[in-house]
Amino acid sequence: MRCGVVVFPGSNCDHDVYHVLKHVLDQEVRFLWHDEPRLHGSELVVLPGGWSYGDYLRGGALAALSPVMGAVREHAERGGLVLGICNGFQVLTEAKLLPGALRPNRGQRFECRDVYLRVERADTPFTREYAAGQVLRMPIAHGEGNYEHFPYELDRLERDRLVALRYVAPDGALADEWNVNGSARAIAGLANAGGNVFGLMPHPERCAEEVLGNSDGLALFAGAVRGAAQLAGAGR
């Protein structure tokens, strides 16, 4: 099973993702340079956090048009697994591989802290190792994570069950004061209709080992690796 971690100029969580896939989950991983329209056989592609292209214009806007994204789009359209974390989630929305957009946080501040997330869907490759309704703790670090879309589109997301993770209180209840950035419908993570493209603002790679004091994020990568291996085995 081959994994690829895309590196844009300004990516800064690429090595963390590489570490989790390579050293914690023992997978074959390579970095994929933004300027090359090739995935080198990667079956799981991760767009990491950071400030791609300095986040000029809008977070993820310029990265969404980079050569590697053409290959990522083809991979996604073939049903291949794509995970976008933080800036990677912004890139996926700007590339229209996921619906909506991420705006500056409601509180006007960069938020860097642990948040609580409720798993709304446990039937995507990325959330299959969790239980629906399970509450996770994960760190966030972003200034623009406020999920927005047109109201009728938000209704459609709910109807199509695309919302995979929501910001909640530690007991799992929805509560505005725990919606850290003001996201519409407290959306923290989304899947596409096929479940093969997944984006989230929190950083699972920063909580994927006991030594870090929190391993709630590991199952997300473990699920993705298993899902990608199954797809590869099925000769997708």
Partner 1 sequence: MKARVTVYPRKEILDPQGKAIQSALARVGFRSVREVRAGKSFELDLGVDDAQQAGDLLAAMCEKLLANTVVEDYEIELLAADAS
Give the DSSP per-residue string, 24-72: IS--EEEEEETTS---TT-SEEEE--B-GGGG-SSTTTTGGGSHHHHHH
Q: Which of 204, 213, 216 is nearest to 131 (CA)?
A: 216
Number of residues that bind partner 1 (CB under 8 A): 20
Binding mask 100-129 for partner 1 (x = CB under 8 A): xx-xxxxxx---------------------
Q: Which of 48, 11, 21, 15 is nearest to 224 (CA)?
A: 21
Q: Tell me the β-bridge partners of 189.
A: 165, 200
Closest distance between partner 1 and the C-beta of residue 153, in Å?
A: 8
Q: Angle at Cα 3 formed by Cα 161 and Cα 142, nearest 5°?
A: 55
By beta-carbon proximity to partner 1, the closer residue of 101 and 232 is 101
Residue nearer to partner 1 on the CB measure, 155 or 171: 155
Pick 42 or 90: Cβ nearer partner 1: 90
Binding mask 18-37 for partner 1 (x = CB under 8 A): --------------------
Measure the CA–CA gap between 143 and 225, rounded to whole angstroms: 29
11 or 146: whose CB is closer to partner 1? 146
Give the Cα separation of 114 and 139 in Å (integer): 4
Catalytic-labelled residue, pool 34, 86, 120, 144: 86
Footprint (CB under 8 A) of partner 1, residues 46-65: 57-58, 61, 65
**CB distance 200 to 193 below 8 Å:** no
| Contact between 182 and partner 1 per CB under 8 A | yes
- Whether 205 is catalytic: yes
Interface positions, 131-150, toward partner 1 (CB under 8 A): 146, 148-150
Tell me if residue 75 is catalytic.
Answer: no
Secondary structure of residue 19 in the 3-state scheme = helix
From the list 43-51, 96-104, 119-127, 132-140, the region that binds partner 1 by CB under 8 A is 96-104
Gap between the Cα atoms of 22 and 8, Å rounded: 20
Q: Of 102 and 219, which CB lies nearer to partner 1 in the complex structure? A: 102
Is 112 a residue of the active site?
no
Q: Which residues are catalytic?
A: 86, 203, 205
Which residues of the shown chain bind partner 1 in the complex (CB under 8 A)? 57-58, 61, 65, 93-94, 99-101, 103-108, 146, 148-150, 182
